[in-house]
Amino acid sequence: MTEAKDPKKISPEDLNAIDNQWGERPDDNFGYESEEVRRAHRGLEDWELLEGMSDSEPRLFDWLRKVTGSIILGVVIFLAVAYGIYYISYHYGPALLGKG
């Protein structure tokens, strides 16, 4: 059984020698005995994950956009109300309090 190389024992020259291209499976299964063993230990490659995704899948961070938009809208509304209170109290406050 051929296991993957220990990352601590790989030299920089070995890293530069890797010539695998996107979407290509090397004959040695990335150093594993078989495709099944590689998937059990390493999982799927990036390109395998992308090929397995369909275009109709829901977007992953749709909830994040909604939460971020709600927070930004809340901050804008808060600043508008705070400025309105400041403006009214600064310009009309003395008259409302009977000092002007």
Report the C-alpha gap between 91 and 93 in whole angstroms. Answer: 6
Average pLDDT, the chain: 76
Q: What is the pLDDT of residues 7-52, one digit of tens each?
A: 556 666 655 555 555 566 667 766 777 878 877 877 777 677 777 7
Report the C-alpha gap between 68 and 62 in whole angstroms. Answer: 10
Its pTM stands at 0.40
> What is the domain partition of the chain in residue ranges?
7-52, 58-100
